[in-house]
């Protein structure tokens, strides 16, 4: 079975062809990703209008490259999948309409994939992870803890009530004068710190009931700490130590929230033993190490996709589309792109959480 996947939800224009063998083993035949970092870097963040126009300019070429690299024709495909949401709606529209055009022209089934489900299922593309498993989805736009019961079936245990962690990384990096995207720059600076315990920053919601996250206060604490340093005397070691303190506090928060979620997960799903970490922030090696240590203590198996599959890409959409296709999912060409699309629509809205975090 071969599926073409298209991803355009934010600032990567991506397409991939993924297949599975008769025994279920998956293979990535192609995975082409065009980043828009250079276009958004002058603004310190993603500009939706620029992103949508860039997707429109490049999507046809990226799809063609993915098909050529996979050495397949449209006649070889079983279906075409595209991110249907959530995301920046202009970009989502570009991807969905491209996939619909391909489906209509070549008489292929169309599958609308929830971008978050793409992240949630990516680990099954590279690892033998059985349902159910506990998922920490941590990226620039989302920070959630969910139980993945099956394809299309999720139970949310916690969500961010303000900023996502990736967003906090980016904004903290920006106020410290680092480049965009902020995550890699903060991680690199933290790794150079000679005194990582110098600054004490708060661990948001540590010890509080539930599994929700909050990172707005941590971001504010970074700014306030930087402002207390002598004006004009902010040195590289100050920057490195402050980045280390931020990363440590963020990891402490994730560990505290995950520990509570693991306890709930074990009570309700005694056959599950995996914590899957997905999303762009899962590429942070220091955070990965802390979560591995937690899982060792809690007798859980921590698993994450390869680094190149943590950030947005077409392979995760193709694979999620393939998994959905095998369950019988087919979407009508009248499907409307969605700026918001929660994985667990029945989960109660978290207090103070914005709609994009639902």
Domain 131-304 -> CATH class: alpha beta
- Give the residue ranges of the chain where pLDDT is below 50: 354-358
Query: Do the two domains 2-125+308-357 and 131-304 of this chain adopt the same fold?
Result: yes
CATH of domain 2-125+308-357: 3.30.420.40
Residue found by looking up tokens 């004490």 in the block: 200
pTM over cut 0.85: yes
123 contacts 92 by C-beta, under 8 angstroms? no
Burial of residue 345 (CB within 10 Å: 0-12, 13-18, 19+) is exposed
131 contacts 149 by C-beta, under 8 angstroms? yes
- pLDDT of res. 44: 83
Domain spans of the chain, in order of start: 2-125+308-357, 131-304
Angular region, 202: left φ>0, alpha ψ -120 to 50, beta rest? beta
- pLDDT of res. 216: 94
- pLDDT of res. 45: 85
Helix H or strand E segment including 256: helix 236-268
338 contacts 141 by C-beta, under 8 angstroms? no
121 contacts 20 by C-beta, under 8 angstroms? no
Pairing mode, strands 12-20 and 2-7: antiparallel
- Which tens digits make up the pLDDT trace of 136-182? 999 888 899 999 999 999 999 999 999 999 999 999 999 999 988 89
CA 34 to chain centre: 17
Give the contacts of 171 (CB within 8 A, at least 6 positions apart): 163, 182, 219
């Amino acid at each position: 079975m071969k599926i073409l996947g298209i991803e355009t939800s934010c600032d990567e224009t991506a397409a991939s062809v993924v297949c599975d063998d008769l025994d279920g083993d998956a293979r990535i035949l192609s995975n082409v990703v065009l980043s828009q970092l250079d276009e958004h870097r002058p603004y310190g963040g993603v500009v939706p209008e620029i992103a949508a126009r860039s997707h429109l300019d490049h999507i046809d070429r990226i799809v063609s490259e993915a098909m050529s690299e996979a050495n397949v024709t449209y006649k070889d495909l079983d279906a075409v999948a595209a991110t249907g949401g959530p995301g920046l709606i202009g970009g989502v529209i570009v991807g969905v309409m491209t996939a619909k055009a391909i489906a209509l022209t070549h008489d292929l089934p169309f599958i609308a994939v929830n971008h978050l489900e793409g992240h949630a299922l990516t680990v099954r593309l590279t690892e033998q992870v059985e349902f159910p498993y506990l998922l920490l989805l941590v990226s620039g736009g989302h920070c959630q803890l969910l139980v993945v019961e099956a394809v299309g079936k999720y139970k949310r245990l916690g969500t961010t009530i303000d900023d996502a962690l990736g967003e906090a990384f980016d904004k903290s990096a920006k106020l410290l004068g680092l480049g965009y995207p902020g995550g890699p720059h903060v991680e690199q600076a933290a790794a150079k710190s000679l005194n990582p315990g110098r600054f004490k920053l708060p661990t948001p919601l540590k010890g509080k009931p539930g599994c929700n996250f909050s990172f707005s206060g941590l971001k504010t604490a970074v700014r306030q700490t930087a402002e207390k340093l002598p004006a004009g005397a902010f040195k590289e070691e100050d920057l490195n130590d402050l980045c280390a303190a931020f990363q440590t506090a963020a990891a402490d928060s994730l560990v505290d929230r995950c520990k509570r979620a693991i306890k709930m997960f074990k009570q309700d799903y005694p056959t599950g033993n995996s914590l899957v970490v997905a999303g762009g922030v899962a590429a942070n090696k220091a955070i990965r190490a802390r979560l591995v240590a937690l899982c060792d203590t809690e007798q859980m198996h921590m698993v994450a996709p390869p680094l190149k599959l943590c950030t947005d890409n077409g392979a995760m959409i193709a694979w999620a589309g393939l998994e959905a296709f095998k369950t019988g999912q087919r979407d009508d060409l009248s499907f409307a792109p969605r700026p918001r699309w929660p994985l667990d629509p029945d989960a109660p809205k978290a207090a103070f959480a914005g709609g994009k975090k639902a």
